[in-house]
Chains A and B, each alone.
Chain A
Amino acid sequence: MSAVLEVEGLVTGFPSADGRVPVVDDVSLGIDAGEVLALVGESGCGKSMTALSVMRLVPKPGRIEAGRIVLAGRDLRELDVLEMRRVRGHEVSMIFQEPMTSLNPVVRVGDQVVEAIRLHEDVSQAAARARTLELFGQVRIPDPEARLDAYPHQLSGGLKQRVMIAMALSTRPRLLIADEPTTALDVTIQAQILELLRELQRQSGSAILLITHDLGVVNELSDRVAVMYAGKIVEQGSRRDVLGAPRHPYTRGLLRSIPARAEPGAPLAEIPGVVPPPSEWPAGCRFATRCPVRFEPCRDQLPDATALNPGHTAWCHDAARDPEGGS
């Protein structure tokens, strides 16, 4: 299959008191058509910034400093503003974490979807509205006709997220970026939205870049997984490899801290400490300060990629000294 998106050596930085800090540091990833890639990590690890970089929507004063973002053969970084505008919402769409605030409060939700369609396709108001109605049905908004004229505050969080999904899929994009699409929702609604995303993805064949911190969601939806820590990808591979045979101590820590996997009665495993702020990232492996198996080179030397199974890679000194995975 051909790659829909290929990101190579992406660096996105923000200015700080001591120079620019790269919150996304040399990230490379690829998504094939019809594939779901989950980008996993704790909050503040740079996964949302990676997504916004792909959209070229990094909030000021941050900016993309290096790398290539190739979407269907075109490097998005080389497009001018107008060309990029035609890409956004047309070839790549995005769903955000906060459905409550992501819709314009004073515009009817139907009109907001119609706007998304008519920005990219030369269709009449009526045709766009008909399409919106159809989309509302597809994303299972009950009573779609009436909801077209509703204002955001009249819809529940789950319905708002369905509107966002309808908007994102309205122009049948090659790639859909979903940034924590279920985090702000109730658990029961989360399951419904995930189910919906999976189904729509199968129908439309869009690739999805799914950003989440919830490994349950990853397991539900993804084909491949990339684990991110402190601005860098630390492990990448198929869902089965990464979740089933994780090689980076951070991935293992994440998996161990899922409550469902814990021994009943035993204390829940946790990764000690917190993600350090960008200004305090170690020179070597970013995870060195919290790593249970760190040894000599970890503090000072950046680990290289270690190929494990085909398509399974970890950036870890420990994995490098034992590629077969004894532990």
Chain B
Amino acid sequence: MLAYVLRRAAYGVLVVLGVLLLLFVLFFQIASPDDVARRALGEKALPEVIEQWKANHGYDRPLWPWQDFSNNMLFEHYRSMLTFDFGRSDADDVVITERLRQGVGPSLALTLPLFVAGISVGIVLSLFVAFFRETYIDRVGVWLCVLGMSVSILLYIMGGQLVIAQWLRWFPISGFDPDPSVVGRFLALPLVIAVLSGVGGDVRFYRTVFLEETNRDYVRTARAKGAGEIRIMARHVLRNALIPILTRVVVAIPFLFMGSLLLESFFGIPGLGSITVDAINGNDFSTLRTMVFIGALLFIVGQIATDVSYALVDPRVRFS
């Protein structure tokens, strides 16, 4: 078990290094420091101005170690990312780490409840639909899921803002206030909309998982023992279905911290998602690559956690 966890973690470290290399190629080779400078300063910027800008932002070293082993961008890139010393924003010179620290709170305030609500609503609804398999409840349920999946999240957001906030005035259209007594009012609408927009795909996925499990032989054995349907679902099916469910859930983990790009900026929540959107609009490459790295890092950690929890759930993994 320990060996398994260690092996998994070692591969995770390797993947982190791979992601960093990929980011380096993207953000330094494909979009070279000169490009970045020109995008910030304009196409007609004088060469001296560009050099000055590069020097100010720490982009004035050669890229690769074979150009200058002791002083190159690649090593600096690895060093800064791995020590979480992300430097300053290309756009406004703010220390990126500082900005991230401010953004995490609002992001988590939105995504933690969203994570819990999304999973529980998805699983409860799909258990319900799977329980009525082969009936019209099931068929209508699947229909609704496909319907829901075919609507862009943009439409959910705009429709929700228009109807619930603008016409019915149940909640504010957007904004954020960390005061615990009012924060719920700001988060309610994005929460409802996000759950609604994701529930179709989730239910359809979980339903397939549950149906596949309920067709297995051990379920027939449990029925032959005289176990009831609810007991079979709770004690036998759910535990086996946990494995594919975990896999899907872990995909959502980076968004726990990153927040949802769309939701945060639509609803004016000053979290990491909003920071990312600002970075896109402001050609702020240093912030952007930091966000991509953090997203990937969280995902990799999440994957390792999933694999470890597989081992906890599934004895076949644990004892192999």
A and B touch in their complex, CB below 8 angstroms: yes
- Closest residue of chain B to A82 (Cβ to Cβ) is B228
Segment at the B interface, from A2-10, A114-122, A246-254, A282-290: A114-122
Do the beta carbons of B224 and A103 come within 8 Å of each other? no
- Closest residue of chain A to B231 (Cβ to Cβ) is A119
Do the beta carbons of A98 and B315 come within 8 Å of each other? no
Give chain A residues whose Cβ lies under 8 Å from the Cβ of B218. 101-105
- Does B249 make an interface contact (CB < 8 A)? no
Do the beta carbons of B217 and A101 come within 8 Å of each other? yes
Q: How many residues of B contact A (CB 8 A)?
A: 23
Q: In the complex, which residues 129-146 of chain B have their Cβ closer than 8 Å to any Cβ of chain A?
A: 133-134
Complex alpha-carbon distance, A93 and B319, angstroms: 31
- Closest residue of chain B to A55 (Cβ to Cβ) is B224
Q: In the complex, which residues 146-182 of chain A have their Cβ closer than 8 Å to any Cβ of chain B?
A: 151, 153-154, 164, 167
Do the beta carbons of B239 and A107 come within 8 Å of each other? yes
Complex alpha-carbon distance, A167 and B134, angstroms: 31
Do the beta carbons of B221 and A102 come within 8 Å of each other? yes
- Does A89 make an interface contact (CB < 8 A)? yes
Do the beta carbons of A88 and B236 come within 8 Å of each other? no
Give chain B residues whose Cβ lies under 8 Å from the Cβ of A102. 217-218, 220-221
Which of the four size classes fits the interface of chain A?
Answer: 20 to 34
Complex alpha-carbon distance, A94 and B228, angstroms: 16
Q: In the complex, which residues 283-303 of chain B have their Cβ closer than 8 Å to any Cβ of chain A?
A: none
- Does B306 make an interface contact (CB < 8 A)? no
Do the beta carbons of A106 and B223 come within 8 Å of each other? no
- Closest residue of chain B to A153 (Cβ to Cβ) is B316
- Does A240 make an interface contact (CB < 8 A)? no
Task: Give, as a whole number of angstroms, the nearest-CB distance from B317 to chain A.
Answer: 10
Do the beta carbons of A106 and B221 come within 8 Å of each other? no
Task: Give, as a whole number of angstroms, the nearest-CB distance from A312 to chain B.
Answer: 32
Do the beta carbons of B225 and A154 come within 8 Å of each other? no
Complex alpha-carbon distance, A87 and B226, angstroms: 7
Chain A residues near B (Cβ < 8 Å): 55, 57, 60-61, 85-90, 93-94, 96, 98, 101-107, 115-116, 119-120, 151, 153-154, 164, 167
11 A-B interface contacts by CB (under 8 A): A57-B224, A96-B221, A101-B216, A101-B217, A104-B221, A105-B315, A106-B314, A107-B235, A107-B236, A115-B225, A153-B319
Additional 12 contacts, C-beta under 8 A, given A96-B217, A106-B240, A151-B316: A60-B134, A88-B225, A93-B224, A96-B220, A98-B217, A101-B217, A102-B218, A103-B218, A104-B239, A107-B236, A115-B227, A167-B221
